[in-house]
């Protein structure tokens, strides 16, 4: 960059000036070059006009559209209160869905065989003897010489002589 009037600031140098990163050379050039100074001032005036227009627009908007009405706030609060139990139920469901697999992983249930083996090991001799006596009494009650239902209702083989007997083996 030179301070001659024939050489102007590059686009990058103008951008640096506009964002506040000017160098002493660019400041010196702007002091003597009307073309570059007018380009910077034109951009700054356009930016200032934009800022004023946007400020005027925001001040002209009615305040009722930017604030939430009390009725809408009350509806929103009622809606949240209505769905709060649903939220808690969903949270509890998620906790159970995560917690149960972790619990079962850390606390495995014994299998049927392990439980039977543990029960067998715990049985004492006195318990075994008591169980054997109970089984003997049940066996005696079942094996009495009472008449069976077959003979009581005459369902034995000798009463069915009218039925044909099938030969066991056929001869040719």
Provide the residue-wise pLDDT of the chain in tens; the chain has 172 residues.
444 445 888 999 988 888 888 899 999 999 999 999 999 999 889 888 998 988 888 887 766 544 556 677 777 788 888 888 888 889 999 999 998 888 888 877 767 777 666 666 566 788 888 888 998 888 887 776 555 666 666 666 555 555 555 555 555 4
Residue with tokens 């067998």: 120
What pLDDT score does 1 carry?
45
What pLDDT score does 7 carry?
85
Q: Which of 7, 46, 43, 12 is nearest to 28 (CA)?
A: 7
Task: Evaluate whether 37 touches 30 at the Cβ level (below 8 Å).
Answer: yes
Task: Evaluate whether 3 touches 29 at the Cβ level (below 8 Å).
Answer: yes
DSSP state of 158: G
Per-domain residue ranges of the chain: 11-63
CA angle, residues 14, 15, 20, in degrees to nearest 5: 100
**CA–CA dist 111, 108 (Å, integer):** 9
What pLDDT score does 3 carry?
41
């Amino acid at each position: 960059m030179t301070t001659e009037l024939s050489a102007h600031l590059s686009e990058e140098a103008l951008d640096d000036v506009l964002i506040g990163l000017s160098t002493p050379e660019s400041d010196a050039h702007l002091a003597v070059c009307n073309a570059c100074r007018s380009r910077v001032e034109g951009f700054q005036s356009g930016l200032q006009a934009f800022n004023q227009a946007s400020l005027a627009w925001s001040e002209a908007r009615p305040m009722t559209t930017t604030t939430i009405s009390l009725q809408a706030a009350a509806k929103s609060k009622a809606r949240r209160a209505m769905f709060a139990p649903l939220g808690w139920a969903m949270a509890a469901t998620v906790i159970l869905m995560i917690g149960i697999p972790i619990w079962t992983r850390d606390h495995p249930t014994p299998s049927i065989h392990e439980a039977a083996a543990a029960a067998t090991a715990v049985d004492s001799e006195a318990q075994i003897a008591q169980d054997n006596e109970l089984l003997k009494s049940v066996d005696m009650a079942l094996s009495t010489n009472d008449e069976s239902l077959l003979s009581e209702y005459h369902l034995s083989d000798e009463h069915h002589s009218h039925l044909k007997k099938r030969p066991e083996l056929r001869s040719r």
